[in-house]
A and B are shown apart, each in its own frame.
Chain A
Amino acid sequence: MNETALLINTALASGTTLAFAALGLLVNERAGVLNLGAEGMMLVAAVAGFAVALTTGSDTLGFAAAALAGAALAAVFGLLVIFLNTNQYATGLALSLFGYGVSAFLGVSMVGRTLSARETHAVPVLSDLPFVGPALFSHHPMVYVAMGLTVAIAWFLYRTRAGLLLRAIGENPEPAHALGYPVRLIRLAAVCVGGALCGLAGAYVSLVTAPLWVEGLTAGRGWIALALTVFATWRPARALLGAYLFGGVTVLQMNLQAQGVQISSHLLTMMPYVATVIVLALISRNVAFIRLNMPASLGKPFRPGS
């Protein structure tokens, strides 16, 4: 029983990174922009957050800096893709490569540094409950922020006028443009929100999960988050659930390694990536289902007046 609680606990904790990134990417994909630069934004944000937390001693400032860094990189991507009409795939990929380089460059002096002792977080009273206490109520505050954000984004997308507009632009930007809405600015804003959330995801790795900095720290989580948006069919609640499932796969793999199961640790390390491929293939198999759920203008440039 206790072990199950621990498994749930660690699955939530390690899934939170993916949750932030997938939620962010979901917002900009809902506006019709596909940003393959998630991994690059996460890495730069991870290093920025780590540096700020290291110098100020404040995790909060670290997360804020990471969100800013992610949003700034996303803004560069957005300007290129939305205003200069560059190819979204190539530009996102370029952002990932660039972000990898920049984070490695900036992080050189931070390799091997450690943050001040990490405090444990527990919700008073609730965390003393049997089973659910350790499973659900003794987490870093950002875990709850991710949960709250899921509700907030779902509410925004489906219950507000602005959310409706965002989804409408993601389906077809022409009518919104004809009605006089600044389609490209709205897309840029969505891209920046996506970048900021990828930033939080990156900082969650470098400040909470790891907590340290090494080159390539996020280890492909940005790409897994991109796959998660497909898995979630672009719905926030499913993205959160998917993130926890993948968090669980990662944890399971680590637990098996720790228990010295007679499987090569290299094969276990493959598990999250193999799982991503399999899940992606299974969910994509139903072409009509994907087409029905995917924002119709996803990845397509919008040139007003042409």
Chain B
Amino acid sequence: MLRLEARPVPSQAMALASPIIALVLTAAVAALILVGIGKDPVSGLQIIFLEPLSNRRQISEVLLKATPLIVIAVGLAVCYRANVWNIGAEGQFLMGCVGGGGLALWLTTQGIVLPKLVGIPLVLVAGMLGGLLWAAVVALLRDRFNANEILVSLMLVYVAQQVVNALVFGPWKDPKGFNMPQTALFHASLHLPPLLERTRLHIGFVISLVLAVLAMLFLFRTFRGFQLQVGGLAPAAARYAGFSARGAVWTSLLLSGALAGMAGAMEVAGPIRQVTPYLSTGLGFTAIIVCFVGRLHPLGIVAGGVLLSVMLIGGELAQSRLGLPNAMASVLQGLLLLILLACDTFIDQRLRWSRSTGPAA
């Protein structure tokens, strides 16, 4: 009979092949869904997976959407490597929008015009602070109160959305906005500079790549990064070596919160240019999938961010071209992660045909 047995050494090849296999299987299921609802699977798959890469404008939109995904996922990778389960990046992202957007709005309404080189970094730092403080709540409750970080960080997503709502329906509402729940548009000096002409792609994409490299250096070239990873892989060994588990919780949560907050600030100072109640499109959750698809490695995350961004934009295209429900993209995202986790089983295990009549597993 077939049985799973542990490999002597985890398979590097499988670790890299797993996301590709999962992607192919996800596409196969997508084709089945398309057939099931009476659409042509070939053109459907083409629209979802290839069309977003078909021309300059589409590619710029893909990279635009990949930017926050990469920034958030890089932070989450540090968390997950330290075995700290921050799943509330969405909330930290929203508080980054509040922090960065709040400063940008204040500067705009006060009529303070700063040079771009001063104003934009300030907005990004304010966003980082917003995300960092939101994650600090999680770290504090985990550290001082032993509260499960998964549940706390997730609950705080709902709270963060209500904070955004309270602000844009209340004190931040644009007085000239026909009573719409949104802030005034930020002053032009606070908009992130464009990267490509006639597209919405902004400098944030370059920042995301720089952050990925910095995260790589941190994880693989610093002692602190090493300590975090040992704590995640072998808590007992980390304790024995005297690495602080509490320090790991704080470092990883504050870092990922700050990065998610920065992603939020980039969104409000980038394509959105104001704070609205509809900032949250689930990017913080998609980033979790990006993180796993990218093997918790900053470089892999860049690739994963682009892939998930393609699927999000492909889903939007499929909605307008084929009349598919918008939710198709989130079905495929969830499916990709489920299949990926199943494939990952074969990184440190393998199937063996055994004839033994011994006790079955």
Contact with B along A256-300 (1 / 0, CB 8 A): 000000001011011001101100111011010010000000000
Bound Cα distance from A306 to B344, whole angstroms: 19
Contact with A along B56-75 (1 / 0, CB 8 A): 00000000000000000000
A72 proximal to B (CB < 8 A): no
Inter-subunit contact B334/A99 (CB<8 Å): yes
Name the residue on B nearest A305 (C-beta). Answer: B361
B27 proximal to A (CB < 8 A): no
Inter-subunit contact A281/B145 (CB<8 Å): yes
Inter-subunit contact B327/A98 (CB<8 Å): no
Contact with A along B316-353 (1 / 0, CB 8 A): 00000000011111111111011001101100010000
Residues from chain B with Cβ under 8 Å of A163 in the complex:
none
B121 proximal to A (CB < 8 A): no
Inter-subunit contact A93/B146 (CB<8 Å): no
How many A residues face the partner with a CB closer than 8 A? Answer: 53
The one of A86, A101, A274, A276 that contacts B341, using a Cβ cutoff of 8 Å: A86
Q: B167 → chain A, closest Cβ, in Å? A: 9
Residues from chain A with Cβ under 8 Å of B207 in the complex:
none
A245 proximal to B (CB < 8 A): no
B288 proximal to A (CB < 8 A): yes
| CB contact under 8 A between A108 and B325, given known A97-B330, A100-B330, A223-B155 | yes
Bound Cα distance from A264 to B173, whole angstroms: 14
B159 proximal to A (CB < 8 A): yes
Q: B348 → chain A, closest Cβ, in Å? A: 9
Inter-subunit contact A97/B327 (CB<8 Å): no
Inter-subunit contact A230/B155 (CB<8 Å): no
Inter-subunit contact B333/A270 (CB<8 Å): no
The one of A86, A281, A304 that contacts B344, using a Cβ cutoff of 8 Å: A86
Q: Is the interface of B mostly helix, strand, loop or mixed?
A: helix
Q: Which of B4, B147, B292 has the most CB of A within 10 A?
A: B147
B108 proximal to A (CB < 8 A): no
| CB contact under 8 A between A97 and B334, given known A80-B342, A223-B155 | yes
Bound Cα distance from A112 to B169, whole angstroms: 25
B150 proximal to A (CB < 8 A): yes
Residues from chain B with Cβ under 8 Å of A114 in the complex:
none
The one of A85, A90, A284 that contacts B349, using a Cβ cutoff of 8 Å: A85
Name the residue on B nearest A274 (C-beta). Answer: B159
B189 proximal to A (CB < 8 A): no
A205 proximal to B (CB < 8 A): no
Residues from chain B with Cβ under 8 Å of A22 in the complex:
none
Bound Cα distance from A100 to B159, whole angstroms: 19
Name the residue on A nearest B331 (C-beta). Answer: A101
A219 proximal to B (CB < 8 A): yes
The one of B6, B158, B334 that contacts A98, using a Cβ cutoff of 8 Å: B334
Inter-subunit contact A287/B330 (CB<8 Å): no
Bound Cα distance from A274 to B147, whole angstroms: 13
Residues from chain A with Cβ under 8 Å of B151 in the complex:
223, 226-227, 230, 276-277, 280
Residues from chain B with Cβ under 8 Å of A93 in the complex:
87, 288, 337
Inter-subunit contact A270/B325 (CB<8 Å): no
Q: Which of B165, B166, B330 has the most CB of A within 10 A?
A: B330
Inter-subunit contact A266/B154 (CB<8 Å): no
Interface residues of A in 67-108 (CB under 8 A from B): 76, 80, 83-87, 89-91, 93-95, 97-102, 104-105, 108
Q: B109 → chain A, closest Cβ, in Å? A: 21
How many B residues face the partner with a CB closer than 8 A? Answer: 48
A171 proximal to B (CB < 8 A): no
Bound Cα distance from A84 to B148, whole angstroms: 25
Q: A219 → chain B, closest Cβ, in Å? A: 7
The one of B148, B337, B361 that contacts A284, using a Cβ cutoff of 8 Å: B148
Residues from chain A with Cβ under 8 Å of B163 in the complex:
266, 270
Bound Cα distance from A284 to B147, whole angstroms: 5
A215 proximal to B (CB < 8 A): yes
Inter-subunit contact A284/B146 (CB<8 Å): yes
Inter-subunit contact B146/A290 (CB<8 Å): yes
B279 proximal to A (CB < 8 A): no
The one of B155, B170, B338, B361 that contacts A273, using a Cβ cutoff of 8 Å: B155
Inter-subunit contact A277/B337 (CB<8 Å): no
Inter-subunit contact B166/A97 (CB<8 Å): no
Bound Cα distance from A284 to B285, whole angstroms: 26
Residues from chain A with Cβ under 8 Å of B146 in the complex:
284-285, 287, 290
A188 proximal to B (CB < 8 A): no
Interface residues of A in 38-73 (CB under 8 A from B): 40
Inter-subunit contact A276/B155 (CB<8 Å): yes
Interface residues of A in 180-227 (CB under 8 A from B): 184, 215, 219-220, 223-224, 226-227
Residues from chain B with Cβ under 8 Å of A184 in the complex:
361
B156 proximal to A (CB < 8 A): yes
Bound Cα distance from A93 to B148, whole angstroms: 15
Inter-subunit contact A101/B148 (CB<8 Å): no
Contact with A along B22-42 (1 / 0, CB 8 A): 000000000000000000000
Nearest first, the 3 closest Cβ-Cβ pairs linking A and B are: A98-B334, A101-B330, A104-B327
B positions within 8 Å CB-CB of A: 4, 6, 85, 87, 141, 144-148, 150-152, 154-156, 158-159, 162-163, 165-166, 169-170, 285, 288-289, 292, 325-335, 337-338, 341-342, 344-345, 349, 359, 361
Report 9 cross-chain contacts, Cβ distance below 8 Å, ordered by A residue.
Answer: A84-B345, A85-B349, A91-B338, A91-B341, A224-B155, A280-B141, A280-B148, A281-B141, A287-B146
Known: A98-B337, A102-B327, A276-B151. 18 other contacts (CB 8 A): A40-B334, A80-B341, A90-B337, A93-B288, A97-B288, A97-B337, A101-B328, A101-B335, A108-B327, A227-B155, A266-B169, A269-B162, A270-B159, A273-B155, A277-B155, A280-B148, A281-B145, A305-B361
